[in-house]
């Protein structure tokens, strides 16, 4: 066997030069025809950039109304969620509705003036023949009932899913939307429309429909309950004359201490008064009921007075007259007679009588006064309005105040719970309002980094 060398190859080519020329020309012709007749495809790429924003770090207002769990959500999770949304049938269906199924299936975008975009007429003709042949095959398949009939919209959705490729590099928050179509205009339209549509869809899926209305209704209802409970507390305090539980308690304690002090002092006074009554009674028992008393007679007293007058008259006359003066003699004789008369009645000059013991009477009066004082002290202690009754009333008021305190504490706890709920609902309402405002202004953490 001869070895294949370059010289042998040249000899073989010279020998079959015609055949070699025809083969080379045929290969070039087939390549040129393939380039001319094969349908061309154009690509367009749009890129979305996802940054950390409100949707990444906040929860939906309705998600935090109860117990919450700490969830670790990374940007990679958000990128994966965005990829799933972009590859979902819902996005494709909306995209077909916007662009129209005819445009997707034909691959041509009609211009505003009705003219077609400049393309390769030969390639377009070949593509039309291929589309016609494909349509004929689909019609035959539908007629044979091998498969169910598929609408143009459904076929457009299926074709669109093959035309669009969505991906993102690892550890990147940039999402690429790449579209291949028969015309650059259609590829650009699909990529750009899909990017814009995702921005709207991103805002929509991060908001809970009806959340603002829900928080408006609940906050309004809680506000009414809050006002009702506060009014109930106010009326309860007015009806029971309570300014402050602590102030009322201090006032009652002061009254109780004052009453206890008066109670102890009254008990000591009663004990002292009882001892004093016993002492007075013992002293009275030792004293006699009556005592003997003497009283001079009225006649005896008059005679003594007359004797005194005669003695004074006699001394006066002795100082001025002689012993033989008749007036002096007369006065002296009267004096002597009166002295004799007084001497005869000396035994009858006093009258003995008996009378009640004045000391006993005084002690008895003091005993009566002391017993009256004792009765007053006992009435002050045990009477209908006495200290014991006052102490019972104060203790009853303190028990009633404790009941009022329990009821008010329960109402105040309800008020605090309602206030906390109301503040939470107002905060959530503000969050929901901010979310709707951001959605209305098309503000989100996703932006188109590269238009198609």
Look-up: residue for tokens 């939307």?
A: 177
Beta bridge partners of 164: 179
**What would the pLDDT profile of 48-63 be if each residue is shown by its tens digit?**
988 765 555 455 555 5
Yes or no: say if 102 and 159 are a contact pair by the CB < 8 Å rule. Answer: no
Q: Which tokens go with 13?
A: 């080519």
Beta bridge partners of 450: 47
Pairing state of beta strands 164-168 and 174-181?
A: antiparallel
pTM of the model: 0.49
Q: For position 165, what pLDDT does the model report? A: 92
Yes or no: say if 152 and 101 are a contact pair by the CB < 8 Å rule. Answer: yes
Residue 45 parent element (H or E): strand 42-50
CB burial string 205-232: b at 16+ within 10 A, e below: ebbeeebbebbeebbeebeebbeebeee
The structural domains of the chain, with segments of one domain joined by +, span: 40-64+74-206
Q: For position 128, what pLDDT does the model report? A: 56
**What would the pLDDT profile of 404-439 be if each residue is shown by its tens digit?**
889 999 999 999 999 998 898 888 888 877 777 766
Which residues, at least 6 apart from 62, have a Cβ–Cβ distance to it below 8 Å?
A: 208, 211, 214, 428
> In the chain, which stretches have pLDDT less than 70?
1-4, 6, 9-10, 12-17, 20, 32-39, 52-73, 110-149, 208-209, 291-301, 345-355, 438-443
Which residues, at least 6 apart from 45, have a Cβ–Cβ distance to it below 8 Å?
A: 176, 177, 178, 179, 191, 450, 452
CA–CA gap between residue 347 and residue 39 (Å, rounded)? 182
By three-state DSSP, how is residue 442 classified? coil
CA–CA gap between residue 292 and residue 301 (Å, rounded)? 21
Q: What are phi and psi of 209, to 5 degrees?
A: -60, 135
Q: For position 1, what pLDDT does the model report? A: 45
Based on DSSP, count helices (H) and strands (E) in the chain, helices before strands: 15, 6
Q: For position 320, what pLDDT does the model report? A: 76
Q: Which tokens go with 351?
A: 């009258």
Q: What's the whole-number average pLDDT of the chain? A: 78
CB burial string 118-130: b at 16+ within 10 A, e below: eeeeebbebbeee
Which of 101, 104, 108, 137 has the alpha carbon at shortest distance from 123? 108
Neighbour-count burial of 61, counting CB atoms closer than 10 A to its CB (0-12 exposed, 13-18 middle, 19+ buried): buried
Query: Residue 343 carries which DSSP code?
Result: H
Q: For position 268, what pLDDT does the model report? A: 93
CA atoms in the 13 A half-sphere facing the CB of 150: 16
Which residues, at least 6 apart from 359, have a Cβ–Cβ distance to it below 8 Å?
A: 287
Q: For position 54, what pLDDT does the model report? A: 55
Q: Which tokens go with 337?
A: 């007679």
Q: How far is CA 120 from the centre of its chain?
A: 74
Yes or no: say if 177 and 43 are a contact pair by the CB < 8 Å rule. Answer: no
Q: For position 227, what pLDDT does the model report? A: 92
CA distances from residue 233 to 58, 366, 445 in whole angstroms, order as listed: 38, 60, 48
Yes or no: say if 252 and 401 are a contact pair by the CB < 8 Å rule. Answer: yes
Yes or no: say if 60 and 208 are a contact pair by the CB < 8 Å rule. Answer: yes
């Amino acid at each position: 066997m001869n070895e294949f060398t370059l010289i042998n190859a040249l000899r073989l080519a010279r020998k079959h030069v015609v055949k070699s020329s025809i083969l080379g020309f045929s290969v070039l012709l087939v390549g040129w025809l393939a380039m001319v007749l094969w349908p061309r495809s154009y690509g367009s790429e749009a890129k979305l950039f996802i940054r950390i924003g409100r949707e990444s770090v906040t929860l939906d207002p309705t998600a935090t109304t109860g117990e919450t769990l700490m969830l670790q959500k990374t940007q990679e999770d958000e990128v994966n969620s965005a990829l799933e949304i972009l590859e979902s049938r819902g996005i494709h269906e909306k995209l077909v509705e916007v662009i129209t199924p005819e445009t997707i299936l034909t691959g041509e975008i009609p211009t505003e003036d009705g003219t077609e975009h400049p393309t390769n007429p030969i390639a377009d003709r070949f593509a039309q023949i291929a589309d016609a042949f494909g349509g004929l095959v689909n019609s035959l398949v539908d007629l044979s009932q091998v498969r169910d009939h598929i609408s143009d919209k459904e076929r457009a959705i299926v074709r669109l899913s093959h035309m669009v490729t969505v991906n993102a590099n690892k550890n990147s928050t940039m999402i690429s939307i790449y579209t291949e179509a028969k015309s650059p205009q259609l590829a650009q339209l699909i990529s750009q429309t899909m990017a814009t549509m995702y921005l709207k869809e991103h805002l929509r899926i991060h908001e809970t429909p009806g959340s603002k209305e829900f928080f408006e209704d609940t906050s309004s209802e809680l506000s009414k309950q809050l006002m009702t409970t506060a009014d109930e507390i106010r009326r309860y305090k007015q009806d029971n004359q309570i300014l402050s539980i602590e102030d009322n308690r201090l006032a009652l304690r002061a009254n109780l201490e004052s009453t206890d002090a008066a109670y102890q002092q009254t008990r000591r006074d009663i004990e002292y008064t009882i001892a004093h009554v016993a002492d007075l009674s013992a002293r009275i028992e030792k004293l006699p009921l009556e005592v003997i008393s003497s009283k001079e007679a009225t006649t005896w007293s008059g005679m003594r007075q007359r004797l005194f007058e005669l003695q004074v008259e006699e001394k006066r006359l002795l100082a001025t007259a002689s012993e033989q003066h008749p007036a002096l003699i007369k006065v002296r004789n009267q004096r002597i007679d009166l002295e004799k008369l007084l001497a005869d009645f000396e035994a009858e000059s006093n009258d003995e009588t008996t009378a009640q013991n004045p000391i006993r009477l005084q002690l008895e009066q003091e005993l009566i006064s002391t017993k009256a004082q004792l009765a007053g002290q006992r009435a002050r202690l045990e009477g209908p309005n006495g200290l014991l009754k006052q102490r019972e009333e104060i203790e009853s008021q303190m028990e009633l105040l404790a009941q009022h305190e329990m009821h008010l504490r329960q109402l105040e706890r309800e008020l605090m719970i309602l206030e906390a709920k109301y503040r939470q609902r107002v905060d959530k309402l503000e969050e929901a309002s901010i979310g709707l405002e951001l959605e209305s202004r098309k503000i989100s953490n996703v932006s188109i980094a590269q238009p198609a």
